[in-house]
């Protein structure tokens, strides 16, 4: 087991962090956390190994997180790059993350793991679960073995280039009458899209990436996707409920 790992992540509703933290726990005694939602600039890695974990938005990695990752000087240190998706599909996200991470890290392993869908929690409900954690532990054992052998070599992952079109939010979450203007949603928003001014809450669609951090942070459950959008999502995603999507590793 390693002494520590650097853990870079973007996790608006906690699923990506949970998966990455399980992997970190199996790899090292402690993790240095680097949250891409923090407004401060993220530091370069100091540990032997980094974990980079991003969620999948529309088959891609969120552009916001990609920009943050570009600012990190990985010093060509070793890294494990993983995407976390909501039991539909990860499409081009892992290829995009691997390509981007390779620009400044030496990527020695990649993976795609499932967590509960942040827009439609009935998809992947309860994941990562015990079986996922076992698979994360097994993945960690392979990574540690690879580190010990000093093996190297390019990691190939599925996905297409050019990538799918950028994910663009068609609408923002909205607040209901039970909103008490506490401002927790505005604090949680990574892009400062939410403002409270003269007793009114507004959300800037041009800044919103629909990451659901505001919905997750609302203590009164007063924030949600607009109802027509919820219905559309249900129609689109219900068919993915029956199959348990697999975690995939590339090492």
Ligand X SMILES: Cc1cc2nc3c(=O)[nH]c(=O)nc-3n(C[C@H](O)[C@H](O)[C@H](O)COP(=O)(O)O)c2cc1C
Q: Which residues bind ligand X (CB under 6 A)?
A: 11-17, 55-59, 84-89, 115-119, 210-212
Instruction: Give the residue with the Cβ less far from ligand X, 55 or 111.
Output: 55
Q: Which is nearer to ligand X, 198 or 235 (CB)?
A: 235
Contacts of 70 (CB under 8 A, 6+ apart): 100, 103
* Nearer Cβ to ligand X (86/159): 86
- Peptide bond before residue 136 is cis, with ω within 30 degrees of 0: no
- Residue 138 to residues 23, 82, 115, 173, Cα–Cα distance (Å): 9, 15, 18, 38
Least distance (Å) between residue 213 CB and ligand X: 7
Q: How near is the Cβ of 79 to ligand X at its closest, in Å?
A: 19
* Residues ≥6 apart with Cβ < 8 Å to 205: 169, 171, 172, 193
Provide, rounded to whole angstroms, the least separation between the CB of residue 153 and ligand X.
28
Question: With respect to ligand X, which residue has the nearer C-beta, 64 or 139?
Answer: 64
With respect to ligand X, which residue has the nearer C-beta, 58 or 102?
A: 58
Residue 102, CB-side half-sphere exposure with 13 Å CA sphere:
14
- C-beta of 52: minimal distance to ligand X in Å? 13
Minimum distance, C-beta of residue 199 to ligand X, in the bound complex (Å): 29
The distance from CA 187 to its chain's CA centroid, rounded to whole angstroms, is 19
């Amino acid at each position: 087991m390693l002494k520590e790992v650097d853990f870079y992540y973007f996790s608006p509703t906690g699923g990506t962090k949970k998966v990455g933290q399980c992997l970190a726990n199996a790899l090292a005694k402690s993790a240095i956390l680097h949250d891409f939602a923090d407004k401060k600039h993220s530091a370069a890695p100091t540990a032997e190994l980094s974990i980079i974990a991003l969620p999948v938005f529309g088959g891609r990695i969120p552009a916001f997180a990609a920009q943050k990752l570009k600012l990190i000087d990985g010093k060509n240190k070793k890294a494990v790059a993983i995407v976390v998706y909501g039991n539909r599909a990860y499409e081009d996200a892992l290829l995009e993350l691997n390509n981007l991470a390779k620009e400044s890290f030496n990527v020695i392993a990649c993976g795609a793991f499932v967590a509960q869908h942040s827009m439609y929690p009935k998809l992947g409900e309860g994941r990562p679960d015990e079986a996922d954690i076992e698979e994360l532990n097994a993945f960690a054992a392979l990574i540690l073995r690879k580190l010990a052998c000093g093996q190297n070599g390019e990691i190939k992952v599925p996905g297409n280039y050019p990538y799918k079109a950028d994910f663009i939010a068609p609408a923002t979450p909205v607040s209901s009458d039970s909103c008490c203007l506490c401002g927790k949603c505005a604090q949680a928003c990574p892009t400062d899209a939410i403002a409270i001014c003269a007793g009114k809450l507004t959300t800037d669609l041009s800044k919103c990436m629909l990451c659901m951090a505001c919905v997750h942070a609302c203590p009164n459950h007063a924030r949600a996707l607009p109802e027509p959008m919820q219905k559309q999502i249900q129609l689109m995603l219900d068919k993915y409920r029956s199959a348990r999507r697999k975690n995939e590793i590339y090492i």
